Structures are given as structure tokens and as C-alpha cells.
Amino acid sequence: MPEPLTAAPIAPHRLLILGITACPTGIAHTYMAAEKLAAAAAELGYDMKVETHGSVGVEGTFSQADIDRSDAVVIAADTRIDPSRFAGKRIVSVGVADGIHRPAALIREALAAEPSPTADGSAGSGGATPASTTGRTDFGGTLYRALMNGVSYMIPFVVVGGLLIAISLSLGGEATPKGLVIPEGSFWLTINQIGVLGFTLMVPILSGFIAYAIADRPGLAPGMICGWIATTGSFYHSESGAGFIGGIVTGFLVGFVALGIKKIPVHRYIKPIMPILVIPVLTTVIVGGAFVLALGQPISWVFSTMSTFLTGLQGGSAIVLGLILGAMVAFDMGGPVNKTAFLFGSALIATGNPAPMGMVAAAIAVPPLGMGLATLIRGRYFSKPEREAGIAALFMGFFGITEGAIPLAAAKPLQVIPANMIGGAVAGGIAALFAVTDSVPHGGPIVAVFGAVSGVPMYFAALLIGAVVTALVSLLLLGVSARRAERHAPSVAGTTPTNGSPVSVSAPASTSLADDPTPDPAAVTPAAAKTSVSTAPKTVLDYIDEDTIVLDAAETDRDAMIRTLVGLMGTTGRVTDEGLVVRAALAREQLGTTAVGDGIAIPHAKSDGVSAPILAFARSRHGVDWTSPDGTPATLIFLIAVPEAAAGTEHLKVLAQLSRALMKPAFRATLQAAATPADVLAALAAQVGPKQSAPVAP
């Protein structure tokens, strides 16, 4: 475990500063910022305690006595930290990089800040406005993080609502001319209504938590209220609401409007009521009114225009109609465009023309089935929550619940929505070509089970082919996006080392620190130590040896350095696919530089091309341009690669030790002076302790 940042008792007469550090992945930057803040406080003559929010969890948690005793709070984090427990304290909130590069200035700013409000419910919202890392804030990244925040809270509502509806239809539904109907008074009707409630809350939750991620608590209530307005067409004279797309729009509008109002200077007597009264009310009125008065009418016009257009196609090519209806159904997965196509097909059943509903029914299940299939085929393209959502989508797809694909579409809209539309169009076109009909206003395999579909074999063929097309197209687009991210990185001279081929070490190699993977540390033990069993916590020496260290490397290009280091790792046998590891490391760089200043870079890769965690180190005499925040070239480069499916936390604690050690000038000087790889290992051993192992009994 990393050593506590405050080892000595706190003197009662000295100022106490509290610090919180966190980065999105939770390793290198988190602990480096903590070390820098503690060192700066000591130089200024203050006591300091730092609470780290890393991948291993929260460490150094403050007691209430610490908070009561503290004089100021410094939050250096790239993730959202709730400051409500520090009500009444002087707070400064910035990005984690500022905690590394200007810790002393942050402490001074915190001591000079105005105390935050102490009124109930207002702490953390109307007090010291969190500062941002000026000049380095990525607006696109802000939008993405807000969207992901909304999606993460929305997913449980989609899963619970969809599964309950599916179960109730399967076990209690009866096929009637009006669709699958559950008899009045049935227990399954109650289950169905509970599921519908989950779907009803889904979009307001999405909207609310998008707004919450942007504007904090003042945006939550307006976001949910305006999200409800977006899904309720009666507010703006529309037969169908705006669906999850409307929820995204209202979420962002509410977030930025509330954030703008928060920045308006007000009298200090008004500040306490701003987050609980003024901001929520004004935001709700502004965004809700704009949606009702301005945004809703264009949606209604689009609906009527599309309906007229589809009716005109009825006498033309049935295949064209099937392609259009299928694409519309798959576009927004239960949203307004989907509902327009669905209502069009349903209305024609009453006129004695069930063919359009057959096209719609075939396309309805394609998005959830296709995206669920995609998560099974290539799971590494999706996060763990997305893979779980994919399993739920398969189940919901069987029951014709298009909304099952919404979590995946919201997370990756540019890849998933086009794939859904192509697959839906294929399914609708095939159903039209073979004159498949559906006499009930519902879709998915379940309607065939109830005997409401004619041409059952071709109906299932349309479903399966459409789902496969959606899966393959989505994976193709996701792969293209990954390759484009790599191509946008600076070009490098030379070629990528081939898997298993020897790599020249005459040039410098760089190493990277993995922020989040957790493979079995025992598998990383060098060959000479494979006859031992771990009996104590691992150290850095369990992940690195002389074969993965290169000194005075000649590369001056970041990507070339990464490729060289990965090549060194390949010679140990712990990297099974160098290309995958290089792409993972370069993709991580696209999210933001892994250079932390003071000549240090800590790149990292999490990839299926790694069989066990491995650490490499390169020292560059000339320096590598790593887009460091302080403008200095990287001369000390640590690279770590770990398996994609890693689990556990031990190696993360080891990396936290290394991150803190690199913040010490004496340790960096020792690495710069090392004459051989053995000297590097000796320096690491002196800093973090020797490799921990014990002989195995014969």
C-alpha cells in the first residue's frame, strides 16, 4: 500500500489543508498530484491530508474531525467530486494536472477563497465555483462525459422496464386485432404497468443526469422536468414525444443554461438560495418554455411530413417502402421517427393492409438483436456496462422492444445508429419482398409465436439477416473509428515490430503505467523467480526486469518510443500481439497526454494482446516531445501493459507507489544517473522495496 501522505501528528497551531485528487483512470495522475500537494504544503509550513480517489478505491478518507479542523480544501480532480461535506470551508476545485504542476498556488488560492455557503442543501452548489483548467478544457470531452453520465443512470431503467414488459407479454399476453393484450385484472397487467413506468422514467433520468454532470445539483430537477416535457407530445401539440433524442437535447440545454446562471454575480445574501430556488426555477422556465413554444412545433411538422410521404409511397415499390420504414423504425429506437413508422403500419391494419406492419415488425427487433450480437462477437469494443446492456438487449429484442438498443446507441451514436438503420432497412426490405404481413401492432419474434404473422420462415429470415447486418456494420464502423484515432496520432518513422520478432534496443524505449487493469501479478514474475510463491504484497520489481529497460534511447518521437517499448515487452512472452498493444497505447494518448511534467511520461495500454502485466522503462538523453503540460520533453518514460480482462487491485497499488516516487527529485536524479539496467532496478528497490517472494518447499 502507498505510504500515508501525513505520517506525523498534526500540530494544533498550524493550518491544515485538505486535498482530494482523482483522474479518470485513477492511478498515475491521482497519486502524483497527491504527492505534489503534500510536498508543497510542507514547504509552505502547513499540515496537509490528501484523500485519493483511485482505481483501488478511496484512500486516506477524512474524518469529521479532520474536516472541522481544516482551514481550506483543494480538489484536484478530473472526475466529479461532491463537495457538500465541506460546507462553510474555503474550496478551490481544478483539474488533476493543476495539482501536479502548481500545487503551491492552489493552496494559496484555497486559503484566499470565499467560504462556501453553510445553508442546508446549498453546500457545494452555490459556494466557491469550481475552477477549470483554463486553456486545457476539452468541450467535446465535457459533452461526452455528460452524455455518459446520463446513459449510466438511464441503463437500469431500460433494463428493468424492458424485461418486465417482455415477461408480462410473454406469459400474460394474448394476440388480438388490437395487438398483444394482457387481460384486465391479470397479475401480468400489473407487471406490464411497472415496466411501462420504467420506460416512462427513462428519458427524464437521462436528461436529468446529463444536466447534473454539467451544472451539478441545480441542473438535476430542471433536467428531469424538461426531459418529461420532451417525451410528452401533448405539451407541444404532437401525437408522439421526442424520445431519447429529445432527452439528450433538453439535458444539454438545461445543463448549460443552469451553468450560465450560476456564473452570474449576485449579492452574497442571495447566493445561498441560488442553487435551491433561483437556478432550478429559471432554468426550467427557460428550457421548458423553449421546448414547448419553439422546439415542439418543428417536430410535429416533421411527423406530419413523413406520414404524408410514406402514404404516397404506398402505391409505389413495396421494397422501397420496406427499406424506408425499416430505417425509420431503427433510427431512434422508440422515439418520434420510430413511432411515426409504427403508427403508419398500425393504422393500415385497420384498412385491411397488414403488409406495412409486417415490414415494421421485422425491423423492430433488429437494433436490440443486432447490437446484442455485436457485443458477443467483439466484446472488446464495448465497456462492461455496455456488454451487460447487450445481453439485456438480446432478450428485449425477442419481445420486439426496440428500446433495448438505446444504451448502446446513446454511448456510440455515430457507429450504432447508422448500423441500426442499415440492418432495419434490410429487414424491412426482405419482409416487403416476400409479402410478410403482421395483423397485430407489435413486432419481434414474439408476434410469430402468437401466430399473428404470415410467411413465418421469411419473417424470421428478415429478422436474422437484419440483425447480422447491424452487428457487422456496427463492428466495422467501430473498427474504422479505432483505426482513425491511431492515424490521427503523429506519424512515425519505421515499421511496427511484428509479433514475436526481436526488436533492436539501440534506440530508447519508453514504458507506460496502466491506470486501470488488474491481471494476476504472479504471472508477471520473471523466469528466474517462477519457482517462488508470493507471500507479501508485490512491488514494482515484480513487473519489470533488465530485459524491459533501455537507457539512452535515441527515439525522439512519441509513437516510435511506444512501439520500441512494446517490442521489448514482446521478447518476454508476456505480450502476445504487439500491434494490439501499440494501438491501445496510442488510443489512450488520444484521450489526453500521459506526460505529467518534470520530464516524466507514463503511457499505458490495456489490451487482449497482453497475457500478464508488464512494466518497461526507457531513459532518453535527447528527450521525447510528449505534449507535456509544462512543455518539457519526456526523458523518463514508464510504460505498463495489462490484459483487457484484468481483475484485482494489487498491481494498481504498486503503480501508485511508483507514481509517488517519481515526484521526488532525488529518485529522478538517480534514474538519470543510472549506468546500467541493474542500476535502475537497484534504484527502484531502494525506493519501493525488493521483490516479495519466498521459496517453494520441495
C-beta neighbour count of 461 within 10 angstroms: 17
DSSP codes joined into one string, 109-123: HHHHSPBPP-STTTT
DSSP state, 95? -
Tell me the backbone φ, ψ of residue 74, rounded to 5 degrees: -115, 120
Grid cell digits, residue 439: 395483423
Which residue among the candidates 23, 29, 442, 651 is catalytic per the annotation? 23
Residue 129 and residue 200: Cα distance in Å, rounded?
A: 34
The torsion defined by the Cα of 241, 242, 243 and 245, in degrees rounded to 10, comes to -170
Interstrand relation of 604-607 and 600-601 (parallel, antiparallel or unpaired): unpaired
Total residue count of the chain as it appears in this document: 698
Burial of 512 (0-12, 13-18, 19+ CB in 10 A): buried
Handedness of CA 552, 558, 563, 566 (dihedral sign): positive
Q: Angle 476-477-483 (CA atoms, 0-180°, nearest 5)?
A: 90
Cβ neighbours around 492 below 10 Å, total: 18
Taking each helix axis from N to C end, the angle separating 336-350 and 296-313, rounded to the nearest 10 degrees, works out to 40
CA–CA dist 43, 64 (Å, integer): 26
- Using alpha carbons only, what angle is made at residue 559 by residues 556 and 561, rounded to the nearest 5 degrees? 55
Cβ pair 589, 637 in contact under 8 A: no
Please give the Cα distance from 510 to 77 (Å, whole number). 26
The grid cell for 411 is 454511448
Query: 29, 53, 101, 604: which one is catalytic?
Result: 604
H/E segment holding residue 550: strand 549-553
User: Residue 94 pairs with which residues in a beta bridge?
Assistant: 76
- 139: cell is 468541450
| Residues forming beta bridges with residue 75, ordered by sequence position | 20, 93
Would residue 622 show up in a list of annotated catalytic residues for this protein? no
- 23 labelled catalytic: yes
Q: Check: CB of residue 87 under 8 Å from CB of residue 117.
A: yes
CB burial of residue 493 (10 Å; 0-12, 13-18, 19+): exposed
Q: How many alpha carbons lie under 13 Å from residue 532 in its C-beta half-sphere?
A: 17
Give catalytic residue positions. 23, 604
